[in-house]
Chain A
Amino acid sequence: MNEFIQELRNIKSEVYTIAGEISVSRNLDLIVPLTLITFLLFIGSFWYLRLPVGVLCILGLVFKPITKKVYFWFLLTCFMVSCFYRNWYTLDNHQYLMLYWTIALTCLFIIPKQDHEKTLAINGRLLIGACMALAFIWKAGNANYLDGSFFHFTLMTDSRFENFSHLFGGIEKSDLVSNREMIKDLKSGYLTGVASERSAMMTNQHLILLAHFLTWWTLIIEGLIAVLFFLPERKIILRFRNWALLIFGFTTYSVATVTGFAWQLMILGIAQCRPEQKSFRLGYFLVFLLMQLYMAPVYDLVSSLLSLIGL
C-alpha cells in the first residue's frame, strides 16, 4: 500500500514536471510537433496529398532539425497548394487554415531568427482574429441563422448531434431518425414517384430553446474572440482573449467534434502566447489533448449511463 501511494506521488510529480516544461517551452518548440501531428491526421483524404505530407511529417517528427529549414515548410506548402487548387470545392475550412499556417511557417524561416517568436505571435493572433471575424460575419448576416433555424435544423437532423439533441433537447431518437428519413425522401422522392417538396419536421420546445441558446452563444463568443484578437495588446485584453479562445475550444468542440479545426486553433493560440503566459500555454495544450477525449462517444456513454439508472 505504501509503495502504491509512493508510486502515485511519483506519477503526480512527473505530471507536474511535464506540465512545467510545456508551460515554459518556446512556442516554436511546442508548435512544430503539434502542427505535424495535426497535418498527419487531418490533412485530408486525397492519397496524393496524404502520401508526401505523411512522409514529411514523420521525417519532421523524427529529425527535428529539418523543421527549422524553409525548404521543409515550402515543400509542404507546395503539396498542399497543388492538391487544394484541384479540389477546392471539397475542402473544409480547417484545411484552408492549415494551408495558411503552413505558408506562415514557410515565411517564418525566411525571416531572421530573432524575429521568429514575434512573427509567430502576429500570425497566430491575426489568423485567429480573421477566421473568427469571418465566421461571425457569415452568421450575423444570415437571418436564417439569427432566428435559430440553422441550429434547430442541425439538432433535428445531423446524426453527429443525435445524442446531444436527445440528452439536452429531450427529443426521441426515433423522431431524429424520422427527420433524417424525411430528408432522404425529399432528395430521392423523384426516383420512387412520391416526390414531395415540403415536409414538417419532428421537434419540441426544449430543442427549440436549445437551438436559440446555441445560436447566440456561438455568435457572441466568435464575435468576442474576433474583437479581442484584433484589439491592441493591453494586459487585460491578453488575459480575456486567451480565456475566450480556451472556453470556445472547450465548449464548441464537445458538441461539433471538428477535431482538425480545434487542434489548429489551439496551435494558433499557443503561437500568440507571450513568454510569461505559462498557464495559457499549458491550457491550450490541455485543450488540445481534451479534443482526443471528445472523439470518444461521450454523449453515447452518458446516455447509456442515464438509461441504466432509469433516467
Chain B
Amino acid sequence: MNGDRYNRFLIYAPTAILIIVAAIQAFRVSNQDLSPWKGGGFGMFSTIDAPTSRYIAGYLITENELVPIAIPQEYQKEHVYVCTLPSMDSLKHLAEMMAPRIWITEEQSAAGLNPQGKKPTGEPSVPEKQARALRDDEHFPHDAERVSVLGVHLEVWRYRYSLNNNLLKAEKVIQIDVSK
C-alpha cells in the first residue's frame, strides 16, 4: 500500500512541481511586476512585456543637472534582474553599486564620435560630452574631466504597444535616487 502511494508520488511529482512553480510565477507577475516571459509560467509569446521591453534610464546627480549615463556593462546581470523583476530594493542595489564609481566625461573624438555631434554612420546626434564610469583597470584619460557626482538617479521604463492606435508608448515603472 505504502509502496503504491510512494510510486504514485514519484509519477506525479514532476507535474506537481511544474504547477507549483507556475503558481508562484503567476503570483509574482500580478504582485511584483515579474515579466510573464520568465519564472517558469509558460507566459512567453503572450505579451510584449518581456524583460527586453523594459529598460533603465540612468543619470548622475550633480549640483546643477542630471547627466545621462548608460548602465555600465559590468552591471549587466543586475540590469537584467531589475528589468525582469523591478523592485525598489533591486534598483537601489544597482544604484548603490554605481554611485561610488569614478565618473568621467570625455570629448567625443576620444570616444570615437564625430565632434560635430553626429556619429560617422549618421546616427542621431549625441551630446558633446558623454559621461561614463572609469573602469577599474583603466588609467584616467588625459583629456577627460571627472564628474562631481552627488548621487545616482535610476528609472525603470517599459514600452507598451496597442494595435488600436498603432502607438509604441513608454511608461515609467519605478525610480530611485541614491546619494554617493
Contacts and interface: CB of A to CB of B under 8 A. Distances in A.
Contacts of B43: 134-135, 138
Contacts of B171: 197
Contacts of B45: 135, 139, 150, 154, 218, 256
Interface string A268-283: 0000000000000000
Nearest to B172: A197
B168 A111 contact: no
Interface string B38-70: 111111111110010001010100000000111
Interface stretch (B93-101, B102-110, B119-127, B137-145): B119-127
Contacts of B31: none
Given A103-B17, A123-B15, A130-B15, A88 B40 contact: yes
Interface stretch (A2-10, A59-67, A90-98): A90-98
A130 B18 contact: yes
Given A103-B13, A107-B13, A147-B164, A90 B80 contact: yes
Contacts of A96: 18, 21, 40, 42
A149 B162 contact: yes
A218 B126 CA distance: 43
A150 B126 contact: no
Contacts of A123: 11, 14-15
Interface string B146-180: 00000000000101111110111111000000000
A188 B55 CA distance: 9
A134 B167 contact: no
Interface string A162-190: 00000000000000000000110111101
Given A134-B42, A135-B46, A144-B162, A199 B15 contact: no
A131 B18 contact: yes
Interface stretch (A20-28, A200-208, A290-298, A301-309): A200-208
A71 interface: no
A192 B126 contact: yes
A89 B85 contact: yes
Contact of B14 (A104, A182, A192): A104
Contacts of A188: 70
A198 B168 contact: yes
B42 A135 contact: yes
A126 B15 contact: yes
Given A89-B39, A93-B44, A130-B15, A191 B70 contact: yes
Interface string A110-133: 111001000100110011001100
A288 B145 CA distance: 58
A197 B13 contact: no
A147 B15 contact: no
Contacts of B48: 144, 149-150, 153-154
A240 interface: no
B154 to A, nearest CB: 11
A211 interface: yes
Q: Which 9 A-B pairs have the closest CB atoms?
A: A134-B42, A107-B10, A138-B46, A138-B43, A96-B40, A104-B14, A126-B15, A149-B163, A89-B84
Interface of B: 7, 10-15, 17-19, 21-22, 36, 38-48, 51, 55, 57, 59, 68-70, 80-81, 84-85, 124-127, 130, 157, 159-164, 166-171
Given A126-B15, A147-B164, 20 more contacts: A89-B38, A89-B39, A91-B40, A93-B44, A107-B11, A111-B7, A122-B12, A123-B11, A130-B18, A130-B19, A131-B18, A135-B46, A144-B162, A149-B164, A150-B46, A186-B168, A190-B57, A191-B126, A192-B125, A208-B163
